[in-house]
Amino acid sequence: AQSVTQLGSHVSVSEGALVLLRCNYSSSVPPYLFWYVQYPNQGLQLLLKYTSAATLVKGINGFEAEFKKSETSFHLTKPSAHMSDAAEYFCAVSLQNEKLTFGTGTRLTIIP
Amino acid sequence: ETGVTQSPTHLIKTRGQQVTLRCSSQSGHNTVSWYQQALGQGPQFIFQYYREEENGRGNFPPRFSGLQFPNYSSELNVNALELDDSALYLCASSRDTGISYNEQFFGPGTRLTVL
């Protein structure tokens, strides 16, 4: 069975600083990996996805993530944080049946 | 193109009652998945429907059941509500194209409170 672990339930960064949200996965076969963002009282919005093409994936709002098989990681980064990035971020893994297995989430706070 | 919609937005029930949540999938989508998101947790997969048949189920008891209609909209039914059923229920739709990955699009969710 596949699983994901998100390190750090809360992350705070200053506006303009680097954002790094960590995600490690466990899967017996090559997985599909995703990052979703959730704003208060809203559903999930897909930021980016890895589906076995390029290992460096670029998403919306300036976010990107790199698939590292040797480290079983899929960390999310953004070079310069913006106040509007404050939200909950979820890493998720899927195999071919589309069922998504989510991590427990990381709440990102941006300090002005 | 209309996105995924869910109704109602909020719902309050008491223990032992039954509830029905509804989801309208995005135009052209034939697969619906339901997730439960407890407060402070990530979403947990409940089940998926494809062409009106259940197509995979997570670790949820039988009192969680569902339906998918010919227009691909879906219902989630929960019987004998328990306090722990309080959560945000998310619906996601996708279009099975026969390739190995089909992106899921999420609705805004229904927040259920069980008292």
Kindly report which listed range (A41-45, A79-83, A103-107) carries the lowest average pLDDT score: A41-45
The pLDDT of residue A27 is 83
Cis peptide before B8 (omega within 30 of 0): yes
Predicted pLDDT of residue A87: 96
Dig out the tokens for A57 from the structure: 């994936």
Is the pLDDT at B19 greater than 90? The verdict is yes
User: First CA to last CA across chain B, in angstroms?
Assistant: 37
Q: What is the pLDDT of residue B98?
A: 67
Q: Is the pLDDT of residue A92 over 90?
A: yes
Which residues of chain A approach chain B closer than 8 Å at the C-beta?
32, 36, 42-46, 49, 51, 90, 92, 94, 96-105
| pLDDT at B100 exceeding the cut of 70 | no
**What pLDDT is recorded for position A38?**
94
Answer with the residue of higher pLDDT: B83 or A30.
Answer: B83
What's the pLDDT score for residue B81? 98
Between A and B, how many residue pairs show a Cβ–Cβ distance under 8 A?
58
pLDDT at A79 over 80: yes
DSSP string, B20-68: EEEEEPPTT--EEEEEEE-TTS--EEEEEEETTEEEEE-S--TTEEEEE
Q: Which of A5, A39, A49, A100 best tests the B interface by mutation, with the highest count of B CBs <10 A?
A: A100
Q: Inform me whether the pLDDT recorded for A28 exceeds 80.
A: no
Measured distance CA(B34)–CA(A7) in Å, rounded: 26
Nearest to B106 by CA among B95, B96, B91: B91
Of residues B14 and A52, more confidently modeled: B14
Residue A51 has a pLDDT of 85
- Residues pairing with A3 in the sheet: A26
Q: In this structure, are residues A64 and A49 in contact, taking their beta carbons and an 8 Å threshold?
A: no
Q: Return the pLDDT at A97.
A: 64
Task: Name the 3-class secondary structure at B83.
Answer: helix
Q: Are A94 and B101 inside 8 Å of each other by CB?
A: yes
The whole-chain average pLDDT of chain B stands at 93
Alpha carbons B35 and A100: distance in angstroms, whole number: 9
Please give the residue that has the higher pLDDT: either B15 or A29. B15
Is pLDDT of B28 > 90? no
Tell which B residues from 83 to 102 touch A, by Cβ distance under 8 Å.
Answer: 90, 92, 94, 100-102
Segment B80-98 shows an average pLDDT of: 92
Alpha carbon of residue B111 to chain centroid: 12
Cβ contact, residue pair B31, A98, below 8 Å: yes
Whether the CB-CB separation of B86 and B112 falls below 8 Å is answered with yes
- Asked if residues B5 and B107 have their Cβ atoms less than 8 Å apart, the reply is yes
List B residues 60-79 in contact with A (Cβ-Cβ < 8 A): none
Chain B hits for A36, Cβ within 8 Å: 106
Contact (CB<8Å) B90/A32:
no
Distances in whole angstroms, Cα of residue A2 to Cα of each of A56, A67, B6, B45, B61: 21, 16, 28, 13, 21
